[in-house]
A and B are shown apart, each in its own frame.
Chain A
Amino acid sequence: MTIKHESQKIAQHFYTFAVLLFLVQVLVGIIAAVQFIWPDFFILNFNTIRTLHINALVVWLLVGFMGATYYVVSEESETELWSLPLAKFQFWATVVTITTVVLGYIIMGLYPQANILVFGTRLLNEGREYIEAPRWADVLIVISVLLFLLNCAMTVLKTKKWTGIQGVLLGGLVFLALMYLPGMMYAKSMVKDQFWWWWVVHLWVEGAWEIIAGALLAFMLMKTIGAKREVVEKWMYVEVGLVLFTGILGTGHHYYWIGTPEYWLWVGGIFSSLEPIPLLLMVWNAFRTTRETRNVENKVGLYYTVANAIFNFVGAGLWGIIHTLPQVNKWTHGTQITTAHGHLAFYGAYVLLVMAMIYVTLPAIRGVKEFNPSRAFQSFWWMTISMVFIVLTITGAGMVQTYMERLMGLDYVAVKANYNLWFWIFRAIFGVGFLIGVGIFVVDYFKLGKEPATARA
C-alpha cells in the first residue's frame, strides 16, 4: 500500500489533531461522569466540562472528515491537490482557532463574568449546546471550511474526473457548510432559537454527516476488498438518497414539544421512524460486498468499516427509533434515554467511521505493506465493549428516570442522586475502560508503520 500522490500525506496532519482531540474528549468525559456522582469534583463546573466534551467530539470528527476528504479527492481525481500550501495553512488556521476557543471556554468556566457582550454577541461562549463557539470563531470556522472546499473543488476541476464517490462526498460537505449558517443568527424567541438550532444539529448528524458516511463507506469497500466501483456507487446513491428522503422531514421529531405546531407530531413520527432503513441498507451492503470477495487487502480497515456500518445502525437507528414516536417521546424527551442514544450513535456512526478511514488510508500514507493489527483489534474491543456498557447503564438510568420522575412524579434531583447512583458509578468505570481503548489506539496511531510488522508476534 502506497499513496499515489504526495499531497495525500496532508491527511495525516488532520488525523493527528483529530486523534489528540479524541483523547481530550474522553478524558473530560470521565470528569463529567464523576461529576454526576460528585458535582463539586474538579476545578471546572459540569457545564464547561460538558461543553469541552461535546465540542471536542464535533471538531475532531470534522477535522477527521477533512483529512479523509483531502486523501479521497486526490485519489479519485488522480492528481495532486490543487494547493498543498493552502491545505497546510487551512490546517494550522483551524488548529489555532480551535485552541483559542477552548481556552475561552476554560476562562469562562473559571470567571463566568468574563463572557461579556461584544458587538451584540458573546465573547467566549454563545451558551447554545453544540454550537457554543462564539460568533467570531464561527466566522473563522466558515472561512476555513470554504478554503477547504475551494481546494477540493479546484483539485477535481484539474482533471474533471467527477466520480460518484467524490461528488457525493463533496455534496455532503457543501450541505454541511450551508447547514452551519442557521446557527449563526440570534432569535429573541427561545422557540425560534431551538427551531433553527435543530437545522444545524439534526441536518448535520442525520443528514450531511450520513451522506459523508455513505460516500466514505463506498470508498473504503473499494480500498479494503477491491469492490467494483459501479456496484458500491449504486448502493451509495440508494443509501444517501434514503438518508435524505427520511432524514430531512425526520427533523420533525425535534419539533414535538418546543412550541411548534402539532402537525410536526405526524411528520416527525412517520419520517423519523423510517430513518433506520438506509442505515440497515449500509450494513447489508457491507456484508454482501464483503462476501463477494476473497481478496482482503487491509484486514483492520475492513474490520472497522463493517463495525462502523453495524454500530451506525444500532446506535443511530435502533437506539433512536425506540423513543422517536411522539407517544413514547412525550415521556422520554429530555431524559437520559436521549443521552444513551447520543453516545452509541456518535460512537457507531462517526467515531468508528473516522477510525476506519484512518486504518484504511494511514498504512498507504506511511508507506507500509503490512502492519501488526493486534493493537487495532485490542483497542476496538476495549472501546466497543466499554461503550456498549456505558450505553446500557445510561439506558437503565433513563428508564428509571422516565418511570420515577415522569410517570410517578418524583423529583428530578431525588431520582438522579438516589435511584440512579449506581448507574453513574458503573458508567464512570466503563468510561475508564473506554479510555484504555483510546489509549491503545493513540499508541497504535503513532507507531503504525514505524516498527517491524512482526514486532509483537
Chain B
Amino acid sequence: MSNKAVKNLFIYGSLFFFVIFLALTFDTMGKLDKRAPEITEDVNAGKMAWHKYDCIGCHTIFGNGSYFAPDMTKTAEKKPKEYLKKFLMDPKAVNPQASMPKLGISSEEADKLIAFLEWTSKVDTNGWPPKPILATAAGVGGKELTAGQKTYQSLGCSACHMINGIGGTTAPELTYVGGKRDRAWLTGHFKNPSAYVPNSAMPAYGNLKEKELNDLTDYMLTLKQEGKK
C-alpha cells in the first residue's frame, strides 16, 4: 500500500470507530437513569461535598480514584448511618486508628454525603464489587451456625467488627471479647452503647427481641482465648 492509502485508512478508519463510540454513548446515556435511583437535591448536595473535600484524593468510588483508602460505592449499605455521620465529622474520635483527618465536615454536609453514598450503593454496577467467595463459602459451608452467629451475620456486625481476622477494622475487634466483658455489660451495651463507651458511634440495638439479644450475648461470651476459659 502507498503511504497515501495507509494515511486514508488511518483517517477514515478512526472516524468509523469514533462514530460507533458516539452511537454507543448516545444509547448508554438513554439507559443510565433507569439503572440508578432518582437524584434528589440531597444526593446532589452530597456529591458537591464529595468534590469539595477532594474525597477522591484518597478513596475510590465505583472503583475509580485514589487507592489509599477504602472504596465508597457500597459503604452506606454496609455501615450504620449513625456511625458514618460521627466518623465523617471526626474520624479519630470514633476510631483512634483511623488515617482520615478531621476535615471540618459539618453535620449538614455529613447528612448530604450519606444521602449521596446511599444513592451510589443502589446503582446497578453489573455486580461489582463481587461478594468475596471464600468468606461467603465459610459462612454457608461446614457446621451449622448458632442462633447468635446467625443474628451477628444478619445484622451485618462484621462490616465494622472483626472476629478471627474476618470483618471490618473501624470498630473494636471482638475475637476475645468474651474474656473481657460479662453478660450484663454486653446486653446493656447492645441496648445503649454510648452509656458504656463514651463517644461510641455504634447504633443502639434496644429494639431487638429479648431472644436475639440473649443469643448475641451468648455468642460474644464464647469468644475467648484458648486455654483461658
One digit per residue, 1 when the CB lies within 8 angstroms of any chain B CB and 0 when it does not, for chain A 302-335 equals: 0000000000000000000000000000110111
B206 CB to closest chain A CB, in angstroms?
27
Assess A409 versus B128: contact at CB under 8 Å? Given A46-B68, A260-B28, A261-B28.
no
Cβ contact within 8 Å between B167 and A411 = yes
B147 CB to closest chain A CB, in angstroms?
22
- A267 part of interface (Cβ distance < 8 Å): yes
Cβ contact within 8 Å between B169 and A164 = no
Q: How far, in whole Å, are A307 and B130 apart by their CA atoms in the complex?
A: 39
Please name all residues of chain A whose beta carbon is closer than 8 Å to the beta carbon of B198 when the two chains form the complex. Answer: none
Assess A333 versus B32: contact at CB under 8 Å? Given A47-B57, A51-B54, A129-B66.
no
- A454 part of interface (Cβ distance < 8 Å): no
A-B pairs with beta carbons under 8 A, tally: 217
Please name all residues of chain B whose beta carbon is closer than 8 Å to the beta carbon of A251 when the two chains form the complex. Answer: 21
Q: Which of B55, B168, B170 has the most CB of A within 10 A?
A: B168
Cβ contact within 8 Å between A237 and B3 = yes
Assess A406 versus B130: contact at CB under 8 Å? Given A50-B58, A244-B17.
yes
- B181 part of interface (Cβ distance < 8 Å): no
Cβ contact within 8 Å between A190 and B61 = yes
Assess A189 versus B67: contact at CB under 8 Å? Given A122-B51, A245-B17.
no
Q: Which of A112, A230, A252 has the most CB of B within 10 A?
A: A112
- A86 part of interface (Cβ distance < 8 Å): no
- B47 part of interface (Cβ distance < 8 Å): yes
Assess A259 versus B21: contact at CB under 8 Å? Given A51-B57, A192-B32, A412-B71.
no
* Chain A minimum-CB-distance residue to B46: A190
- A372 part of interface (Cβ distance < 8 Å): no
Cβ contact within 8 Å between A411 and B162 = yes
Q: Which of A51, A249, A261, A330 has the most CB of B within 10 A?
A: A261
Please name all residues of chain B whose beta carbon is closer than 8 Å to the beta carbon of A414 when the two chains form the complex. Answer: 162, 165, 169
* Chain A minimum-CB-distance residue to B59: A47
Cβ contact within 8 Å between A330 and B127 = yes
Please name all residues of chain A whose beta carbon is closer than 8 Å to the beta carbon of B10 when the two chains form the complex. Answer: 237-238, 240-241, 244
Which residues in window 364-409 of A have CB below 8 A to B?
405-409
Cβ contact within 8 Å between A409 and B136 = yes
- B183 part of interface (Cβ distance < 8 Å): no
Q: How far, in whole Å, are A128 and B59 apart by their CA atoms in the complex?
A: 11
Q: How far, in whole Å, are A129 and B54 apart by their CA atoms in the complex?
A: 8
- A79 part of interface (Cβ distance < 8 Å): no
Interface size on B, residues (CB 8 A): 76
Which residues in window 244-294 of A have CB below 8 A to B?
244-245, 248-249, 251-252, 254-265, 267
- A336 part of interface (Cβ distance < 8 Å): yes
Please name all residues of chain A whose beta carbon is closer than 8 Å to the beta carbon of B58 when the two chains form the complex. Answer: 45-47, 50
Cβ contact within 8 Å between A234 and B6 = yes
- A127 part of interface (Cβ distance < 8 Å): yes
Q: Point out the residue from B32, B63, B101, B169 that lies within 8 Å of A413, measured CB to CB.
A: B169
Please name all residues of chain A whose beta carbon is closer than 8 Å to the beta carbon of B66 when the two chains form the complex. Answer: 46-47, 50, 129
Which residues in window 10-65 of B have CB below 8 A to A?
10, 13-14, 17-18, 20-21, 24-25, 27-29, 31-33, 35-36, 39, 43-44, 47-48, 50-58, 60-65
- A108 part of interface (Cβ distance < 8 Å): yes
- A456 part of interface (Cβ distance < 8 Å): no
Q: Point out the residue from B13, B25, B44, B136 that lies within 8 Å of A241, measured CB to CB.
A: B13
Q: Point out the residue from B54, B129, B133 that lies within 8 Å of A108, measured CB to CB.
A: B54
- B99 part of interface (Cβ distance < 8 Å): yes
Q: Point out the residue from B7, B53, B124 that lies within 8 Å of A259, measured CB to CB.
A: B124
- A430 part of interface (Cβ distance < 8 Å): no
- A206 part of interface (Cβ distance < 8 Å): no
Cβ contact within 8 Å between A190 and B14 = no
Q: How far, in whole Å, are A39 and B91 apart by their CA atoms in the complex?
A: 14
Q: How far, in whole Å, are A112 and B101 apart by their CA atoms in the complex?
A: 11
Q: How far, in whole Å, are A256 and B62 apart by their CA atoms in the complex?
A: 10
Interface residues on A, range: 35 or more
Please name all residues of chain B whose beta carbon is closer than 8 Å to the beta carbon of A230 when the two chains form the complex. Answer: 3
A39 CB to closest chain B CB, in angstroms?
4
Q: How far, in whole Å, are A339 and B31 apart by their CA atoms in the complex?
A: 31
- A16 part of interface (Cβ distance < 8 Å): no
Q: How far, in whole Å, are A264 and B24 apart by their CA atoms in the complex?
A: 9
* Chain B minimum-CB-distance residue to A401: B67
Q: Point out the residue from A45, A115, A127, A233 that lies within 8 Å of B101, measured CB to CB.
A: A45
A392 CB to closest chain B CB, in angstroms?
17
Q: How far, in whole Å, are A129 and B134 apart by their CA atoms in the complex?
A: 33
Please name all residues of chain B whose beta carbon is closer than 8 Å to the beta carbon of A338 when the two chains form the complex. Answer: 67
B52 CB to closest chain A CB, in angstroms?
5
Please name all residues of chain B whose beta carbon is closer than 8 Å to the beta carbon of A244 when the two chains form the complex. Answer: 10, 13-14, 17-18
- A195 part of interface (Cβ distance < 8 Å): yes
Q: How far, in whole Å, are A35 and B57 apart by their CA atoms in the complex?
A: 13
Please name all residues of chain A whose beta carbon is closer than 8 Å to the beta carbon of B165 when the two chains form the complex. Answer: 410, 414
Cβ contact within 8 Å between B47 and A245 = no
A25 CB to closest chain B CB, in angstroms?
16
Cβ contact within 8 Å between B21 and A127 = no
Q: Point out the residue from B33, B67, B71, B120 that lies within 8 Å of A190, measured CB to CB.
A: B120
Could you list 29 examples of A-B contacts with CB < 8 Å?
A46-B68, A47-B54, A47-B56, A113-B104, A127-B52, A129-B56, A132-B57, A164-B3, A189-B32, A189-B39, A190-B123, A193-B47, A194-B64, A195-B29, A241-B14, A244-B10, A257-B63, A257-B125, A258-B63, A259-B62, A259-B125, A264-B24, A334-B71, A336-B67, A407-B134, A408-B134, A408-B166, A411-B169, A412-B69
Q: Could you list which residues of chain B lie within 8 angstroms of chain A, going by C-beta atoms?
A: 1, 3, 6-7, 9-10, 13-14, 17-18, 20-21, 24-25, 27-29, 31-33, 35-36, 39, 43-44, 47-48, 50-58, 60-71, 99, 101, 103-104, 116, 119-120, 123-136, 162, 165-170
Top-8 shortest CB links A-B: A47-B57, A409-B135, A409-B132, A334-B63, A127-B51, A257-B128, A241-B10, A39-B99
